[in-house]
Amino acid sequence: MTRHAVILGCLGTALTAEETAFFRDVRPWGFVLFKRNVESPDQVRALTAALRATVDDPAAPILIDQEGGRVQRLGPPHWRRYPPGRAYGTLTTNDPLVRREIARLGARLMAHDLHALGINVDCVPVLDVPVPGAHDIIGDRAYGETVAEVATLGRAAAEGLIAGGVLPVIKHMPGHGRSMMDSHENLPVVEASLAELEAVDFEPFRILSDMPMAMTAHVVYTAVDPRRPATTSRKAISQVIRGSIGFDGLLMSDDLSMKALGGDFESRARAALAAGCDMILHCNGRMDEMKPVVAGAKALAGKAKRRADAALARLARVPEPLDHAAAVARFEAAFEGRIAA
């Protein structure tokens, strides 16, 4: 049966009767979980199973933002607290390959946690390159302050997730590092030249353009389109994301409920899809917002369906073997300064 090109959230730790009926009718492509949906391992497993049952698909994508640091939906007491991306780039070692190893290992351990819960997509890695004076909405979520650091460690994290049976989502394309505002609250406007954007902001995404999924940035780049943020800008998506960057994977919007976007929710969804997004993301689980989002969305078909199917084909049926105890010991040793330089 046809699925809608939407990824939706739910309000609590179990589905309500209204949510169940709505999801069965709408048949979203996937779902997204937040802290409000997380209580215990058994509860999360029951919730992921219930979500998939509404669309009759045991492999339906279920997403989460499990970066580590400030952005970690799963945490103590049931799950390990992971460091932010910047911690991998500042490990006390003279060997950059060790930093890469530990970044991959951290993501592999996260994937181990997620796979056990039925979560198969993680919105990681952050490929934004922060500049001095930028808003700290990115901050230590970034792996470093140079293209090389961000791209190298971002790829390592993506590889760790894939090895563990979880799809990565590169974000926030084509770059959120220059933003002087938090796009959850306001619409950031970046006035850097196209040459600057190409050399720094776009470059990590270009290097990882072979990844299966990406998330847009609700950011205006005046050198590309002075009127619209990337999420709703045909120029930004066709000329930059699909063109200059060369990304041909599944492109989802960032959360449509963020205040950077204007207009009603139906028009937001229509605008993002018309601009070239393959998939709409709406996170807060509010029914009064989800209904118009779905009204503005459309059936998953054509190139968008091809990209969605190709992304899911990258999911490993069986994760790579992992000696979990040894991996945890190695990971902990890295952050206790016991790695040889």
Q: What's the pLDDT tens digit per position in 281-327?
A: 999 999 999 999 999 999 999 999 999 999 999 997 789 999 999 99
The single residue of 42, 56, 136, 184 carrying the catalytic annotation is 184
Q: How confident is the model at residue 341 (pLDDT cuts 50, 70, 90)?
A: very low
Query: 335 vs 166, which has greater pLDDT?
Result: 166
**Tens-digit pLDDT profile for residues 117-127:** 999 999 999 99
Q: 123, 169 in Cβ contact below 8 A?
A: yes
For the cut 60, the answer to whether the pLDDT of residue 197 exceeds it is yes
For position 184, what pLDDT does the model report? Answer: 80
How many other C-beta atoms lie within 10 A of the C-beta of residue 173?
31
What is the average pLDDT score of the chain? 95
Instruction: Give the pLDDT of residue 93.
Output: 80
β-pairing verdict for 170-173 and 189-190? unpaired
The stretch 1-30 carries a mean pLDDT of 97
Is 135 noted as a catalytic residue in this protein?
A: no
Query: Residues 13-22: what's their mean pLDDT?
Result: 98
CA dist 203 and 341 (Å) reads 29
- pTM, two decimals, is 0.95
Per-residue pLDDT, 150: 97
Q: Which two tokens stand for residue 311?
A: 């992304």
**Torsional sign, CA 50, 110, 176, 214:** negative
Residue 129: per-residue pLDDT: 97
Summarize pLDDT for 127-173 with one digit per residue, the tens: 999 998 888 889 999 999 999 999 999 999 999 999 999 999 999 99
pLDDT in tens, 43-84: 999 999 999 999 999 999 999 999 999 999 999 999 999 999
**Integer angstrom CA distances of residue 252 from 16, 119, 135, 213, 273:** 26, 18, 23, 8, 9
pLDDT value at residue 95: 85
Identify the pLDDT of residue 338. Answer: 61
The string of pLDDT tens digits covering residues 172-191 is 999 999 987 667 877 999 99
pLDDT tens per residue across span 84-96: 999 999 998 878 8
Our answer to whether residue 254 is catalytic in this structure is yes
> Per the residue annotation, which of 122, 128, 201, 254 is the catalytic one?
254
- Do 278 and 251 meet the contact criterion of CB atoms below 8 Å apart? yes
Both tokens of residue 198? 């190409």
Structural domains of the chain ordered from first start: 4-334 (3.20.20.300)
